[in-house]
């Protein structure tokens, strides 16, 4: 009974968050048309190969030539992850509506021991993640932590004990260009920051496409 109540609460939370992000993000997406300076280059994502939720290897080479957004989450997270993942669903929807065909989303789990491909598949299905658009990656824990810390310059680490939240991870979304360069960081729990990401994503997409 408790699991059923918890599941219902999670579904209700996702519905509320989806509506919240959908309304605010779409309005802000349409607001800005002024020409801006090119986005800065903040770093370069190192080469990596992990395992996608379909059980197949997936890495940086699979993302070459595409603009993408990355985040680091885990499926048992009861804090920021549901908010971030709900925001990612809106990024997916808005990119589809805007015909940004080469835009991809990549969610790395920071709890790979529990987040197997099968677990990630169920999690992805619960958020309507499209298989050819939004990828969920798992693999060696040390490799993922190093990728987060040294590659994306984000926090990711195990906490001190079982009574605490098991994983420390960043709430940032990362915008990456077609050459694998980091072009922006955004708070994945704040609607204005996510809206700015969408504007920058659209700008970067059309700049590079041209």
Alpha helices in 49-146 (DSSP H): 81-97, 117-126, 141-146
How far apart are alpha carbons 139 and 149 in whole angstroms? 16
Reference 73, options 174, 168, 184; nearest CA is 168
Predicted confidence (pLDDT) per residue in 107-118, tens digit: 999 999 999 999
Element spanning 198, H or E: helix 191-209
Give 21-61 pLDDT, tens digit per residue: 554 444 444 444 445 689 999 999 999 999 999 999 999 99
Rounded distance, CA 156 to CA 175, Å? 18
For residues 188 and 87, give the distance between their C-alpha atoms in angstroms, rounded to a whole number: 7
Tell which phi-psi region holds residue 44, choosing left (phi > 0), alpha (psi between -120 and 50) or beta: beta
* For the chain, domain boundaries: 2-209
pTM tops 0.85: no
In whole angstroms, what is the distance from residue 198 CA to residue 192 CA?
Answer: 10
Reported as a single tens digit per residue, the pLDDT across 128-176 is 999 999 999 999 999 999 999 999 999 877 554 444 556 788 999 999 9
Spatial CB neighbours of 76, under 8 Å, sequence gap ≥ 6: 111, 114, 166
> Can you tell me the distance from the alpha carbon of 25 to that of 197, in angstroms, rounded to the nearest whole number?
10
* CATH label, 2-209, candidates 3.40.50.700, 3.10.180.10, 3.40.30.10, 1.10.760.10: 3.40.30.10
* More confident: 175 or 15: 175
Checking if the pLDDT of 2 tops 50, the result is: no
């Amino acid at each position: 009974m408790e699991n059923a109540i918890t599941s219902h609460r999670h579904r209700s939370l996702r519905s509320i968050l989806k509506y919240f992000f959908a309304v605010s993000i779409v309005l802000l997406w349409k607001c800005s048309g002024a020409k801006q300076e090119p986005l800065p280059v903040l770093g370069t994502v190192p080469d990596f190969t992990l395992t996608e939720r379909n059980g197949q290897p997936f890495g940086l080479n699979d993302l070459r030539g595409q603009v993408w957004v990355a985040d680091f989450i885990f499926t048992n997270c009861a804090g920021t992850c549901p908010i971030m993942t709900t925001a990612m669903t809106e990024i997916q929807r808005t990119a589809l509506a805007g015909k940004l065909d080469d835009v991809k989303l990549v969610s790395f789990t920071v709890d790979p021991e529990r987040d197997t491909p099968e677990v990630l598949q169920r999690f992805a299905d619960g958020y309507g993640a499209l298989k050819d658009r939004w990828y969920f990656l798992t693999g060696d824990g040390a490799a993922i932590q190093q990728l987060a810390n040294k590659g994306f310059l984000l926090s990711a680490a195990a906490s001190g004990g079982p009574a605490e939240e098991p994983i420390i991870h960043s709430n940032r979304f990362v915008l990456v260009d077609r050459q694998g360069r980091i072009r922006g960081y955004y708070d994945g729990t704040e609607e204005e920051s996510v809206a700015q990401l969408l504007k920058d994503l659209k700008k970067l997409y059309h700049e590079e496409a041209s």
